[in-house]
Amino acid sequence: MQAKHLGFVALASVLMLGAVYAQDSFGITDYPPITEDQLVNPAPGDWPMYRRTYDGQGYSPLDQINKDNVAQLVPAWSYSTGVVEGHESPPVVVNGVMFVTTPEHHVFALNAATGQLYWKYTADITENTNPSHPTNRGVAVLGDKVFYAAHDATLVALDAKTGEEVWSTEVANVDEAYYMTLAPLVADGKVLIGVSGGEYGIRGFVAAYDAETGEEAWKTYTIPAPDEPGGDTWPAGAYVTGAGSTWSTGNYDPESKLVYWGVGNAGPWMGDQRPGDNLYTASTIALDVETGEIKGHFQYSHNESFDWDEVTAPILVDLPNKDGETVKGLVNPTRSGILWALERTSEGPINFIWGEKYVPGDVITDIDAETGRVSYDESKKPSTGTTKTYCPSVHGGRDWPSTAYSPDTGLLYIPANANMCTELTGAEVEYEAGQPFIGFDSLEFQVTDDAEYIGSVQAWDVATGEMKWEHKFPRSGNWGPILATGGGLIFSGGTNDRMFRAYDAENGDVLWEQKLNSGVIGTPSTFEVDGKQYVAVQAGYGVDAVFNNTVIAEHFGISSDVPQGGVVWVFEVKDGAVASAE
């Protein structure tokens, strides 16, 4: 691995002087180490991790930008990354410094108030790395380090001031088709990481590394061996290639010291080739952060055969249980099209509360009121040698884009997609290391004939399980992660018209929108520097959103063209300004 530096860029002559952050134009001079307490209780103006807080709510209490002035939101600065493909990383901001990642293995450190480049790191990737998804979803920070998961399954610690490598460690073997795209999670002095590669017959895992040294602390496979709990849910030998990838960042409860991590679908895709429930695929697992032991789980789809890759971690939020008592809960709108409300316990077990369809679907016919186990319409379940059509599609009611929760409204905000289905013809497949291990002859996306819309932003009351409002996009999917703020707003992009929007969090009215250079599938964040609030997001369309949009455009007879190219956009309110929608 090697760092490439552009440091000492002397183009800017501005000397930033402030009571809180004092950075000069030549480099990062003031970077107090980030403590564990700052991660547990972030300062209101910081965004120190993937979803800002360990509960994964994607909420900031900042309210300087609010319903009254959001119409005056205008660009403060922008920074072209020089890279195409999907830009999905959130701008992480601490100590007045923004850390953001892009495709092609880059990490940028920018002055959060001006956009001035401090340093750029480019990972020197192993040549035979072959990721199916050429994206990255961000960094984690602790002490004086920035942690980055490189595509070639290498975890890297960088010096936050200089971008120089402090340590790096191989997490998995790329020859077996492992790769990484997620933002690491720092918890309890460790850096937690998951892996991609479920389409290649990997055995998924979550691993933890000492944040100071990079030494492995523990590694827990998501597919149990025969002598482990859950091992009897697999046929003999299948656990070795059972997939169960873990490519989305987990959430953490510092009180119980349990980490909640999502696990992907099983491999090969056709469930009749691996009879059994196939734990812990298509599940959320609760891991002891000290040991990695699996303390609890909830499986959304047993013997999963739909490519409903349930890797997104549930949001941690208090909500009523079946008896109406307020408990520590989990909420998760899954690819299966079901919004789940679950109870998390300090010992680990996860209990079912309720599940509701948030998009139309024809596979799940019932949910057991006691356990939450689903029943399938077997005529819709793909199997070897048959062709089945089912809804939602393999991209699900929601793919990886993050939900958000506002404690001010009590609403969960979901970037949803409806009225898309998949036709899948299953086939036999033999495992060969590093090669696709899926098992189908054909796969086709379809838009339902009566579709009046595809994407939407939904708001759900997690206390009652009722949808409060929905903003629909008639001719576009929605691949936009969501930010909620104390200003009564939610921010999101995700559509094929390149718009980045602010909605009224209470009723879904669009209060502001700005067309950017490319489609916005980046994760928005907000932060404060020297008393001023900013909103940040990356534009840069790519990956599955592009493929999905091609299908939608063909169905509706519209252009599928969405310009490519990554740009970091940062917005501020200026008195008297009137934002242009173009």
Q: Which two tokens stand for residue 209?
A: 């590394």
Token look-up 């009215």 returns 509
Q: List the strands of the sheet with 338-344, edge to edge.
A: 315-320, 326-333, 338-344, 350-357
Cα angle at 251 between 413 and 333, to 5 degrees? 35
Beta-strand ranges (E) seen in 4-139 are 59-60, 73-80, 92-94, 97-102, 106-111, 117-122
* Cα 446 to Cα 393: distance, rounded to the nearest angstrom: 8
Largest distance between two CA atoms of the chain:
69
DSSP state of 517: S
Q: Name the helix (H) or strand (E) containing 146.
A: strand 145-150
Q: Which two tokens stand for residue 201?
A: 């017959």
Catalytic residue among 277, 307, 309, 544: 307
Pairing of strands 59-60, 483-485: parallel
Beta-strand ranges (E) seen in 229-314 are 251-253, 258-263, 283-288, 294-299
Query: Is the bond into 134 cis (omega within 30 degrees of 0)?
Result: no
Residues 469, 326, 404, 135, CA torsion sign: negative
Token look-up 């939610």 returns 490
Q: For the stretch 438-464, what's the b/e string if a residue is b when 16 or more beta carbons lie within 10 angstroms of its beta carbon? A: bbbeeeebbbeeebebbbbbbbbebbe
| 440 closest CA partner among 233, 272, 215 | 272
* Cα 83 to Cα 150: distance, rounded to the nearest angstrom: 16
DSSP state of 306: S
Reduce the DSSP state of residue 322 to 3 states and report it: coil
366 is catalytic: no
DSSP state of 183: P
Task: Please name the residues in contact with 234: beta carbons below 8 A apart, sequence gap of 6 or more.
Answer: 223, 224, 226, 242, 274, 276, 278, 279
Q: Which two tokens stand for residue 305?
A: 């055969």
Which residues carry out catalysis? 307
